[in-house]
Structure 1
């Protein structure tokens, strides 16, 4: 919607669109406009086919090198090696494909939200047509329960209210009017004379002129942003890409060095090819992608038990890197259920109302007085009025409580229930009967009903805006008595102020101000006794001279557990920023209450202020802003991009259509599973199954633990690879032209996948480190090898490779066969890795870690040792791997000596605190 239709009058809108309110469009005009504007539907972007996704998995440096190794093995007749490598390649590709294969349903969900049919005026007749056939200029009939089929300029509104929460984030239905608005920079939530495609009409009727269809609507604009918003790679994906490139360069470098040495010594090409295969297999941890996926899957399973469902496995680790959580307010930080929080009676007493949302369990707690709610006649009468002058319906189903109708009116019914007044019982058997209703409208700003009470008497029950009710009031009920509040009294010839009346009005206005400062939406209630003659009078006359009973302060309150969750984030170095379509005052009050606003320096910025900022200014202020209020989908997207530009790892939560572009752009999009729209769920990476902000904090903890465990696994896996490469390098460097390979390619594959890969999996369930949530979040550009981890991998790997070469060389010098010497090297490397596993469990040293706290690791070590011994001592193992059985003396020596690299280097680290050993 390019033109700002909300600034135009209804007459000008009709004129500009060349239509008629009385007759609508002519069929010829409809055909011409359909040809010009196209169908009223959202365009769907074509996604990758399953075949394209599968082929994409082979565009990986690790897979590429392994593929070359498989081809060379096949050409040189090493069929077992070729088959084994090929199987590994396809297993990795299939796992990655399954991980990435999910339908792109965002556009489909948006299309499903649109109305299937609509009622428009054509050639002077109201007709029902498929929504896709609507064109700009159509006159659209709007009724309660409708899903708007296009963007419209409201030209007639009869108590019309529309729920726009999914589009704007506004927690309450918006009352619509027809008057033009002044000013061109007005957010969607404040465009009260507009209706938007996919929003739901909650009450009233009206007419609208269609001003936008299909992709030219506000929701179409969001769909376009979704289609053109690039999904960022998660930090996990970036780190894995870095590892892949690093390993590829390292593998090619090592192969080049060894081949150069071999050519220098005049070694045959066929032997060099065989060596190259061994080195490429040794340099690349074939099981790395598979094991990483398995570790992430195990983490995902644990997260589901805590009500967080990860759609993308790499997103799990991203949670642990998160530095800022951009959270929607309504339904995420709050309960998305309006609730009476404070109450005030005309006698000047305040109560705090406890409870949670629409659940009727709660109570009125006196504030600075000792009167129970049942001891206040005006409060109890006020609750009767609030319950009967009410269009909402209270529903209980299998212990679940909900409200059908306006949430604010529902909050009043629930508050009355907490004081023992149940709507259903009052009307069914309680003797109360509604005689006539005068619904709320925006002109009167109040609603009223004529009620017959159990004694057969009639009274008018009224509720509305506090200032309007005060203007229409003639008095207050004070301690059960009606007290007039005329502003002056006559004594003789003098007019004197009525001090008591002034005080009552002042107290009432102070209560309004008190509630407003707490961002509470305030409603006043009152009544008027009616005579038989009054029943015949117009309701506007009856709504004069009412008696005020009290006030109710209503809001969508924070979830009880959110305060602790926000505090946990703060302690973990994770900022929480509220991004909401709601009003700034309401958002700021909630933010202060739950700890998002912590100091005077924390700013609140509105959408209109954002419109006046360029991207550089937004990036500059982002670290100081705690709340962004009254924002649009474009604003949310800009905010996320600004956070990322500042090198933040941004998580974005949301539940509405308006959140979808930002959810896609964020490092991790967190969608609500209960209240969230299908568009939001399809755009997010993580779905909260309980819509609870505190679940994010649990997920952050698990994400950090998973990252820790992945680093431990990668340390173990790459240490093994360095050991395998170094033992071959030592042979070429020290044995000269007569060099014999200490390990065959198949032995290396076994070490990578079984003797090392299998036990390393157990590191994925390693208990969390004690300081897990006391650390600051990792920086976006911080890799797996930070804090000297890369140096430790090289140092330990060289030590393991050195011990393996020593065993190999000693066996050859002792007159053993080449196969026996290779078996010695194989056994030494296998057991050296198993010892090293116990040090990989921690970022300190094995001397500070109880070796028996991870029973899965102990079992995996035992299983790996047993299987590896089977390769050495069974006939089939000797046939496939070309091993020879070691003597008992040699095996015992291998197991004992293989522990030295780990025990000695860990001891040095423990004593000297040197981090790179």
Structure 2
């Protein structure tokens, strides 16, 4: 077993000297070659462990565990034993076809850990034996000294020991959209992952600056390795569809075994021949099992999956198509899902006046407007113009135009200022050399929390342009720009500025202040130049909500679906966004942090999630606990996400929803559904489609099982009413024909039924809801018994008329076929066939005509006669079967319409 690095305290709580001492490494020379070899043997490769994957052969063999297929396989073996070779081959082929379809439905390699490995840096610059070399990242060991620069992927977890303007994009790991400014200082208290500013984490990206770090964890001991471990522990939950199909299988098997056992017992008591008893047992087992049901369900789910893909929702697991229709709560990430994941200037305060952007939450900022929504005239607002010019000039980001629009290179926050200035026609490249000429540059760092540029103005004077944290700028300012003049920043003016800062904070806006200093002959202190500043304004910036999300949330609420925001961001920011989009609408909806969750037991969390609307500052383990608590409350939980940190919860949830544009490969590999447009509204459309599919599943399950009850009851009527002289009214191959062709095709067309108008006004279905609810079980039994009885009656009447056994069986066969074709128009209606327009589903009409035509060919063609054992019948007898077969459906539906019996 590989050993892990041990610390008395986590490395981010230790000083640089203490971390280096614990690793026994000299930062100027790195590890000696001999020590590296020892540690490679001790700690293993710096890579993520790959779990063994299921082989294709194992997956194929697992299909034989399907109990429905096992019963059919036994029937095939008995048919071969009794010499019914055509029956045996036909039943065996049905088993093979169903097993193959299920195999291809489930066959997909688990790519989550492989995707995690691909995220790891392939190379790293490391200092060993006093020399820097470029090595494979998997060869790193704890104690290695690693050098970082912009563009690098951090190859392992590092404690930073040198830092020069280092910024790291950790959004895939923490969920926060803004790049993190790094430091080398020890942290005095236990921070959450997103606030470990002196650490670099494996698989995150360096966006700016340079740094040096000492490796503190490799492979599965890294933060991303811990997530990989959580993913491997979070098993895929069975979908409601899979649970219902398992329950249905148990019911069908129990019924089949009971019926076959009863028939064998009665047959033995009546002295029937063993051969006849086995033949009847085969027929009953085939009749009791809906052979076409797995195929029909798979095809309908596939069609639903294609329709979802047309609406930008790509399903990876077919069963998830139906699961969407059962979702009762959506756990949504904030960044990139509810918001745009694009920092934008929402408003600004310039020299005492408030300004905003007409289309701040749209794709473009829009015109700058005042408090009365009047567009600003930049030429007539010198304070506003100067502030925007300084914001664009004192800026390290670059704004470039592409075919798809403006793109920011650099800090998203600084890019938001460039876009804001561009709305007023002010561009950084136009200012350089014209309005300002740079003399020196004082870059931003996490200690100073500001940046400044020493510039020469066109009139020969010099100035210092400053941008940074408002509290820092305010503390360094002596004047306030107002009406083109620099007035003293007295106590009243300072309070006004503080109110602006706090007001923006309450709106979850990140703030940046802009200031300047006119330089005289005395110049400035180069060690601390930003003194005696003139504050000109403050920007309010945020990652704005998606425009569609408010309506989508309202639709979800109307469908009885709760949405919970789960984010790594601050609670205040998350709460403000939740209120802005209409997610948090009452005081009873609670907001919680990861620190609170650490104090709650699992039982207490189950109570908390009933009212929670926001969970902020959470870790991957917290997300797993939240999803588990919801599932313990019998909720069907969907989890949306795009980062590595979301992957374990995506896998654990009933349906994981990954972002297709901004999502990491790990999130996509862990999810069941991928949103190709990263649009929360697409989830609502997918839920609607899932509900439609569930409704249609009930319709074709009702149709299929009614046919099975009719087939079983026809045989049982013959067996019980004809005594020891009982004869089969239907052969096994006739039953297979009904199940797969004459009934299977029309039943499949029920999957294309349009959605009911009130579909999104119903509450979500419970996980434990019986698919036979609302009287469907009684309707299946009663309609099936009625169709089975008239089919047996035609068989018995034909024998009483002295007609041959094949002729009588053909009449029973045609009666059963026509009975199912009449019944399908009743199955598609929630009440009766009289309550729904019969021609609204053109595919169904075509399927009914095609089914009837093929069945007539089975009766009147030599191949059909040979395979099924049918014989051509007189046309008057055929018309008799057509009208008699209509009686069960028309009579029972009529009684239901008149007397309002729900069970009919």
With the shorter chain as reference, the TM-score category is: over 0.9
1:530 positional shift = 3.6
SS at match of 2:65: coil
Where do 1:42-57 residues align within 5 Å?
Answer: 42-57=48-63
Cα–Cα, structure 1 residues 868 and 522, in superposed 2: closer, same or farther, change >3 Å? same
Q: Which residue of 1 aligns with 2:196?
A: 191
1:325 positional shift = 0.5
CA distance in 1, matches of 2:179, 2:461: 35
SS at match of 1:811: helix
Q: Which residue of 1 aligns with 2:516?
A: 527
CA distance in 2, matches of 1:846, 1:285: 23
CA distance in 1, matches of 2:681, 2:574: 19
Structure 2 residue 757 is the aligned partner of structure 1 residue 807? no
Cα–Cα, structure 1 residues 206 and 903, in superposed 2: closer, same or farther, change >3 Å? same
Q: Which residue of 1 aligns with 2:469?
A: 465
Give yes or no for contact 1:151–1:210 (8 Å, CA) kept in 2: yes
SS at match of 1:367: coil
Q: Which residue of 2 aligns with 1:162?
A: 168
List alignment gaps of at least 5 residues for structure 1.
Answer: 488-501
Structure 2 residue 833 is the aligned partner of structure 1 residue 827? no
SS at match of 1:578: strand
CA distance in 2, matches of 1:581, 1:150: 22
Give yes or no for contact 1:360–1:417 (8 Å, CA) kept in 2: no
Q: Which residue of 2 aligns with 1:573?
A: 560
Give yes or no for contact 1:353–1:362 (8 Å, CA) kept in 2: yes
Q: Which residue of 2 aligns with 1:59?
A: 65
1:179 positional shift = 2.1
Q: Which residue of 2 aligns with 1:260?
A: 265
Give yes or no for contact 1:354–1:365 (8 Å, CA) kept in 2: no
CA distance in 2, matches of 1:132, 1:843: 61
Q: Which residue of 1 aligns with 2:594?
A: 607
Cα–Cα, structure 1 residues 680 and 882, in superposed 2: closer, same or farther, change >3 Å? same
Cα–Cα, structure 1 residues 181 and 392, in superposed 2: closer, same or farther, change >3 Å? same
Q: Which residue of 1 aligns with 2:335?
A: 330
CA distance in 2, matches of 1:457, 1:845: 88
CA distance in 1, matches of 2:449, 2:204: 23
Structure 2 residue 288 is the aligned partner of structure 1 residue 301? no
1:608-632 residue CA offsets vs partner (Å, 9 max, x unmatched): 1111111111112111111110000
Structure 2 residue 533 is the aligned partner of structure 1 residue 546? yes
Give yes or no for contact 2:369–2:375 (8 Å, CA) kept in 1: no
Q: Which residue of 2 aligns with 1:215?
A: 220
CA distance in 2, matches of 1:768, 1:314: 19
Q: Which residue of 1 aligns with 2:501?
A: 512
Of 439, 442, 445, the match for 1:441: 445
Give yes or no for contact 1:342–1:353 (8 Å, CA) kept in 2: no
SS at match of 1:898: helix
1:842 positional shift = 1.9
1:456 positional shift = 5.7
Give yes or no for contact 1:395–1:402 (8 Å, CA) kept in 2: yes
SS at match of 1:12: helix
CA distance in 1, matches of 2:476, 2:73: 85
1:327 positional shift = 0.6
CA distance in 2, matches of 1:132, 1:659: 24
Structure 2 residue 296 is the aligned partner of structure 1 residue 291? yes
Structure 2 residue 725 is the aligned partner of structure 1 residue 719? no
Q: Which residue of 2 aligns with 1:792?
A: 779
Give yes or no for contact 2:365–2:420 (8 Å, CA) kept in 1: no
Cα–Cα, structure 1 residues 70 and 401, in superposed 2: closer, same or farther, change >3 Å? farther
Q: Which residue of 2 aligns with 1:118?
A: 124
1:533 positional shift = 6.3
Where do 1:758-773 residues align within 5 Å?
Answer: 758-773=745-760
Give yes or no for contact 2:368–2:375 (8 Å, CA) kept in 1: no
Structure 2 residue 895 is the aligned partner of structure 1 residue 908? yes
Cα–Cα, structure 1 residues 759 and 126, in superposed 2: closer, same or farther, change >3 Å? same
Q: Which residue of 2 aligns with 1:367?
A: 371
Give yes or no for contact 2:710–2:787 (8 Å, CA) kept in 1: yes
Give yes or no for contact 2:345–2:365 (8 Å, CA) kept in 1: no
Q: Which residue of 2 aligns with 1:76?
A: 82
1:142 positional shift = 2.0
1:221-273 residue CA offsets vs partner (Å, 9 max, x unmatched): 11111112111111111111111111111111111111111111111111111
1:40-94 residue CA offsets vs partner (Å, 9 max, x unmatched): 1111011101111111112101110111111111222212212211221111111
Q: Which residue of 1 aligns with 2:720?
A: 733
CA distance in 2, matches of 1:115, 1:15: 27
Cα–Cα, structure 1 residues 441 and 793, in superposed 2: closer, same or farther, change >3 Å? same
Q: Which residue of 1 aligns with 2:24?
A: 18
Of 617, 635, 641, the match for 1:630: 617
Structure 2 residue 8 is the aligned partner of structure 1 residue 6? no
Cα–Cα, structure 1 residues 158 and 754, in superposed 2: closer, same or farther, change >3 Å? same
1:742 positional shift = 0.4
Structure 2 residue 115 is the aligned partner of structure 1 residue 128? no
1:373 positional shift = 5.3
1:435 positional shift = 3.5
What is the number of equivalent residue pairs in this alignment?
897
CA distance in 1, matches of 2:146, 2:157: 10
TM (norm. structure 1) is 0.96
CA distance in 2, matches of 1:209, 1:909: 78
SS at match of 2:564: strand
Q: Which residue of 1 aligns with 2:682?
A: 695
Structure 2 residue 869 is the aligned partner of structure 1 residue 864? no
SS at match of 1:57: helix
SS at match of 2:115: helix
SS at match of 1:58: helix
1:533-574 residue CA offsets vs partner (Å, 9 max, x unmatched): 63xx44455422222111111111110000011111111111
CA RMSD of aligned residues (A): 1.6
Q: Which residue of 2 aligns with 1:491?
A: none
Of 701, 724, 730, the match for 1:743: 730
Q: Which residue of 2 aligns with 1:480?
A: 484
Where do 1:229-268 residues align within 5 Å?
Answer: 229-268=234-273
Cα–Cα, structure 1 residues 754 and 296, in superposed 2: closer, same or farther, change >3 Å? same
CA distance in 1, matches of 2:727, 2:797: 13
SS at match of 2:167: strand
TM (norm. structure 2) is 0.97
1:424-478 residue CA offsets vs partner (Å, 9 max, x unmatched): 44448x6654333211111211111233455565432211111111122221221
CA distance in 2, matches of 1:239, 1:434: 71
